[in-house]
C-alpha cells in the first residue's frame, strides 16, 4: 500500500503550486501615501534647485545694467526679451562680460534688471541699434511664490491622510469613532452552556430566573413582573465571571453583546457617552438581549474622586450609562451584566435599586468545585491511568478556575517536553510546584554551610508542623531554590476551612517561626532566610489583635483593619479608630504573640532535636522529601 503523505508535505506541495504567492517576509506596501511623500520631497528639491540659481534660466549670467548699456552702444546686442523689470537677451558674438559678482565670463546671452529710476531712452537706443524686441507682461505670482504657499498645504494634507489611515487600520475611522465596540454574538453561534461551567451553583440559580424571563417575557409581564435591569458579578480574577455571562446568554438563546469598560474611553471627550448610547440602541433593536460589561470599575468608579478633581470623560460615560439604565421601557427586554473585582470603588448611584438590582458573588472554588473544573479542562487532554483529579483538587486550595486550567496546561507541556503521549501525575506535581513556588533556579552554587543552614531551616518548619496538633499536614519539603524562595515547606489542608480557631492560628504562627527557631537552636544565630516568615507572622498576629479579637488583653474588641487599599478617591491618610496609647498596647500585644510563637516553636524542636537532625540530613541527601517521610521519622521516635 503506498505511503500516505503527511499534512506537512501536503502544505509544502500546495505552496509550490502557487508560484505567485509571497511566502517570505511581508511585502512592502508602497501605496499612494508613499507616492505623495516622494512627490513632496521632489518638490522641496526642485525649490532648492531653483533657489540656488541653477534652474531654467539659471544658466544665463546676470550682468550689471551699465555693462548692458555698454554692449548696446557698441552694437553687440542682437535681441532682448523684456518682462517687467527683467531684461534677457542674446549677443551677436561671444563677449567677455563683467558679471555681478566681479568675475569675467565669456557668454552668448545675458540677463539684467532695469534700475528703479527707469531708463527713458532705452527703447530709442534699441531701435537705433536694430535690436529685435519681445515683451511679456509681468507675472503677478511667480512659481516660487506659488510653491511657497502650496507646500505647507500639501504637508498638512499628508499628515491628515496618514492620521486617517492609521485610525482606519485600527477600525476607528473618524466617522465611526463614536460607534460602540461591543462584539455581538448571535444565538446560533453561542455554544457555552451551564454544563460547561463547573461549580457556581448559587450563581446559576440566580441567573436561571433571568434566563426564563428572557425566554418568555410575556408570561412575567402579564403578572406585573419587571425584568431586573442590571446584574453585577463580583469576585476575584479568574473565577469565571465572563464565562457565566456567556453561559447565561447561551441558555437564554438571545444575542449577547460583550465589551470591556476600557473600550468606552477615548482621548476625545464625549466619545464614551456616544458609544454607550450606540450600544444600547443596538441591544434594544434585537431585544431580548444581554449586554456584558467586563471590568466596569474602569468607568463606574466613584465620581468626583481623585487628587485634583475627577475625570470628565469617565464621568460623562458613567452618567450616560446611568441614564440608559433608567431609560428602559417595560417592553424592552435588555439585561445588563457587569463584572468587577473591586466593588468597593463603584459609584453608589450605579448600585442603587433600579439599576444594578442584583449582586452575584463568585468566590474561589472549593474542593468539590475544583474537582468538577478539572474534569471539564481534562476533556481534551490525555491523562495516564492513576491520575487522581480529586487528589489534585484537594492539593490546590486557593486556585481559581483559570489557575486550574493553567495547571493542566503546564502539566501537558511537561509531558510533551519529556516526549510522552500522556500526562502523568508527576507532570501535574511539577506544574503545581511551578505555579505555587516558581521555576527552579538552575546554576546556583550554594556552599555546604549555607546548604546546611537551609536544610535545618526547612526541617524546623516541617517538624513543628508535624508535631503541633492543629496544623495542616505536610505535603512536601524542599531545599531546591524556586522563584524567590531558597526552600519551601508545603502544607495542604485535609478539607476546606471556613472558620479558623484561635488554636489553629497560634499553631500556624509557631510553624512559620520554626525556621528561625531551628537557626537559633542549631547555629545560635539568625539569617536573612526568615525575612518572609517574619512578615507573615507580623501580618497574622496583627490581624488577630485588630480584627479577630483573639487576645486576653483587649478581649472581644475589633479595632478595624489597617490593610485597606488606598486608591484615588479616598483619603491618602487612613483614619485611626483608636488612641495613640491603645496603638502602643496593640504593638506590645503583637510582639507578645510573635515572641510566644517563637518560644513554642523552639521548645518543640528542643524536645525533638534528634528527629530535626535526621530530617535535615535527609534533606541534604535528597534535597526534596515528602511529608510522609517526616511523619515516619517522628512515629519511629515515639515507638522507640
Residues 6+ apart with CB under 8 A from 551: 544, 545, 589, 593
| Arithmetic mean of pLDDT, 12-37 | 47
Alpha-carbon span 275 to 282, nearest angstrom:
11
Residue 381, helix vs strand vs coil: coil
Per the model's pLDDT, the better-predicted residue between 104 and 599 turns out to be 599
Position 309 pLDDT exceeds 60: no
DSSP letters for 297-320 = HHHHBPTT-STTS--HHHHHHHHH
Candidate ranges 152-156, 223-227, 391-395, 544-548; pick with highest mean pLDDT: 544-548
Handedness of CA 226, 227, 228, 230 (dihedral sign): negative
Alpha-carbon span 447 to 360, nearest angstrom:
54
Cα-based distances in Å from 120 to 342, 451, 468: 92, 110, 123
What are the tens digits of pLDDT across the range 506-535?
999 999 999 999 999 999 999 988 899 999
Query: What's the burial of 81, exposed, middle or buried (CB within 10 Å: 0-12/13-18/19+)?
Result: middle
Q: Which of 20-29, 142-151, 631-640 has the weakest average pLDDT?
A: 20-29
Position 468 scores a pLDDT of 94
Cis peptide before 288 (omega within 30 of 0): yes
Please list, residue by residue across 84-122, b when 16 or more beta carbons sit within 10 angstroms of its beta carbon and e when fewer do. Answer: eeebbbbbeeebebeeeeeeeeebebbbbeeeeeeeeeb
Q: What are the structural domains of the chain?
A: 60-138 (3.30.720.210), 183-361 (3.40.50.300), 367-437 (1.10.8.60), 448-564+576-639 (1.20.58.760)
Give the catalytic positions in this structure: 458
| Residue 316: count of CB within 10 angstroms of its CB | 20
Q: Indicate the DSSP class of residue 2.
A: P
Position 568 pLDDT exceeds 80: no
Number of residues written out for the chain: 640
| Arithmetic mean of pLDDT, 268-286 | 77
Please list, residue by residue across 565-582, b when 16 or more beta carbons sit within 10 angstroms of its beta carbon and e when fewer do. Answer: eeeeebeeeeeeeeeeee
Cell of 573: 491618610
Handedness of CA 568, 569, 573, 577 (dihedral sign): negative
What are the tens digits of pLDDT across the range 366-416?
888 888 889 888 888 888 888 888 888 888 888 888 889 899 999 999 888
Contact indicator for 564, 574 with CB cutoff of 8 Å: yes
DSSP letters for 52-120 = TT-STTTTSPBB-HHHHHHHHHTT-EEEEEEETTEEEEEEEEEEEEEBTTS-EEEEEEEEEE--TT--T
Amino acid at each position: 500500500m503506498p505511503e500516505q503523505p503527511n499534512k506537512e508535505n501536503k502544505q509544502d506541495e500546495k505552496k509550490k503550486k502557487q508560484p505567485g504567492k509571497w511566502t517570505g517576509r511581508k511585502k512592502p506596501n508602497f501605496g499612494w501615501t508613499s507616492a505623495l511623500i516622494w512627490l513632496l520631497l521632489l518638490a522641496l528639491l526642485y525649490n532648492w534647485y531653483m533657489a540656488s540659481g541653477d534652474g531654467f534660466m539659471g544658466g544665463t549670467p546676470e550682468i550689471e545694467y551699465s555693462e548692458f548699456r555698454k554692449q548696446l552702444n557698441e552694437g553687440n546686442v542682437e535681441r532682448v526679451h523684456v518682462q517687467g523689470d527683467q531684461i534677457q537677451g542674446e549677443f551677436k558674438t561671444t563677449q567677455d562680460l563683467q558679471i555681478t559678482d566681479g568675475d569675467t565670463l565669456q557668454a552668448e546671452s545675458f540677463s539684467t534688471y532695469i534700475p528703479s529710476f527707469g531708463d527713458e531712452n532705452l527703447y530709442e537706443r534699441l531701435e537705433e541699434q536694430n535690436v529685435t524686441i519681445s515683451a511679456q507682461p509681468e507675472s503677478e505670482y511667480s512659481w516660487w511664490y506659488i510653491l511657497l504657499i502650496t507646500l505647507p498645504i500639501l504637508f498638512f494634507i499628508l499628515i491628515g491622510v496618514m492620521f486617517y489611515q492609521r485610525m482606519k487600520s485600527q477600525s476607528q475611522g473618524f466617522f465611526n469613532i463614536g460607534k460602540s465596540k461591543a462584539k455581538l454574538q448571535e444565538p446560533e453561534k453561542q455554544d457555552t452552556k451551564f454544563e460547561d461551567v463547573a461549580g457556581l451553583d448559587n450563581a446559576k440559580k440566580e441567573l436561571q430566573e433571568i434566563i426564563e424571563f428572557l425566554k418568555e417575557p410575556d408570561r412575567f409581564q402579564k403578572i406585573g413582573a419587571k425584568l431586573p435591569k442590571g446584574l453585577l458579578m463580583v469576585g476575584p480574577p479568574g473565577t469565571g465571571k465572563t464565562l457565566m455571562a456567556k453561559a447565561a446568554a447561551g441558555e437564554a438563546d438571545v444575542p449577547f453583546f460583550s465589551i470591556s469598560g476600557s473600550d468606552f474611553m477615548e482621548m476625545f471627550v464625549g466619545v464614551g457617552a456616544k458609544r454607550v448610547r450606540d450600544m444600547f440602541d443596538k441591544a434594544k433593536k434585537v431585544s431580548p438581549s444581554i449586554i456584558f460589561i467586563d471590568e466596569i470599575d474602569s468607568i463606574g468608579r466613584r465620581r468626583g474622586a481623585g487628587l485634583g478633581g475627577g475625570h470628565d470623560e469617565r464621568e460623562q460615560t458613567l452618567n450616560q450609562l446611568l441614564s440608559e439604565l433608567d431609560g428602559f421601557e417595560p417592553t424592552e427586554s435588555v439585561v445588563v451584566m457587569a463584572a468587577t473585582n473591586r466593588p468597593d470603588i463603584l459609584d453608589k448611584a450605579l448600585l442603587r435599586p433600579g439599576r444594578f438590582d442584583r449582586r452575584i458573588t463568585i468566590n474561589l472554588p472549593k474542593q468539590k468545585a475544583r474537582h468538577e473544573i478539572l474534569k471539564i479542562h481534562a476533556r481534551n487532554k490525555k491523562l495516564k491511568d492513576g491520575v487522581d483529579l480529586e487528589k489534585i483538587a484537594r492539593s490546590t486550595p486557593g486556585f481559581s478556575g483559570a489557575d486550574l486550567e493553567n495547571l493542566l496546561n503546564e502539566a501537558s507541556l511537561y509531558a510533551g517536553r519529556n516526549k510522552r503521549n500522556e500526562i502523568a501525575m508527576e507532570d501535574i506535581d511539577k506544574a503545581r510546584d511551578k505555579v505555587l513556588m516558581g521555576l527552579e533556579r538552575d546554576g546556583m552554587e550554594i556552599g555546604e554551610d549555607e546548604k546546611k543552614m537551609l536544610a535545618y531551616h526547612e526541617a524546623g518548619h516541617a517538624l513543628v508542623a508535624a508535631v503541633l496538633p492543629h496544623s495542616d499536614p505536610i505535603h512536601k519539603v524542599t531545599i531546591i531554590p524556586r522563584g524567590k524562595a531558597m526552600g519551601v515547606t508545603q502544607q495542604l489542608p485535609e478539607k476546606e476551612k471556613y472558620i479558623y480557631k484561635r488554636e489553629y492560628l497560634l499553631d500556624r504562627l509557631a510553624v512559620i517561626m520554626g525556621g528561625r527557631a531551628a537557626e537559633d537552636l542549631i547555629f545560635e544565630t539568625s539569617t536573612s532566610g526568615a525575612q518572609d516568615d517574619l512578615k507573615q507572622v507580623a501580618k497574622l498576629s496583627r490581624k488577630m489583635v485588630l480584627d479577630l479579637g483573639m487576645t486576653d488583653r483587649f478581649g472581644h474588641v475589633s479595632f478595624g483593619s489597617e490593610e485597606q487599599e488606598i486608591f484615588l478617591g479616598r483619603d491618602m491618610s487612613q483614619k485611626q479608630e483608636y488612641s495613640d496609647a491603645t496603638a502602643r498596647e496593640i504593638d506590645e500585644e503583637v510582639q507578645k504573640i510573635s515572641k510566644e510563637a517563637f518560644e513554642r516553636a523552639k521548645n518543640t524542636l528542643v524536645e525533638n532535636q534528634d528527629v530535626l537532625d535526621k530530617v535535615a540530613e535527609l534533606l541534604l541527601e535528597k534535597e526534596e522529601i515528602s511529608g510522609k517521610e517526616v511523619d515516619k521519622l517522628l512515629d519511629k521516635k515515639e515507638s522507640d
